[in-house]
Structure 1
Amino acid sequence: MLYPIATLEATKLNAIQTLEQELGSPVVALAPVEAATADLSEDKIAKLRALEDELGLVLVAVRPS
């Protein structure tokens, strides 16, 4: 399961913004997405990690559907 940033309708966004004000801290909303990770060799994992380091991102290889 992956959790990208959620797309929110106005009522949900308003509720989160109210909570942020009460907490005094930003809140990030994530939404679950069903995904199976790819079965990669150690060499391919190393390439994935190298690109993560280069880009400053987290990358996830998923199985094609």
Structure 2
Amino acid sequence: MGYYAFANLPDTDLSAIKELETRIGKPLVALKPVELEAAPVDDGTLSAIRDLESKLGVALVAVAS
């Protein structure tokens, strides 16, 4: 499974994205791949993670340290 984070871009790249957004009439989100290894979790931990995901409306990933 691939993981992505918001890309931190220089102003010139942001300007190019904004220009394309205007041209196509759609917002764009810049993402970059991130090297992560998901941590193994037991059923109880997985249940707690899923409960919090549901409550917050986000996706959470336990990461191996």
Instruction: Give the alignment's TM-score, normalised by structure 2.
Output: 0.90
Unaligned runs of 5+ in 2: none
Distance 1:42 1:16 in 2: 42
Q: Which has the higher strand share?
A: 2
Structure 1 segments of 4 or more deviating over 3 A? none
Distance 1:7 1:26 in 2: 17
Equivalent pairs, count: 64
Report the equivalent of 2:4. Answer: 3
Distance 1:41 1:26 in 2: 39
Cα RMSD (Å) of the superposition? 1.0
Instruction: Give the alignment's TM-score, normalised by structure 1.
Output: 0.90
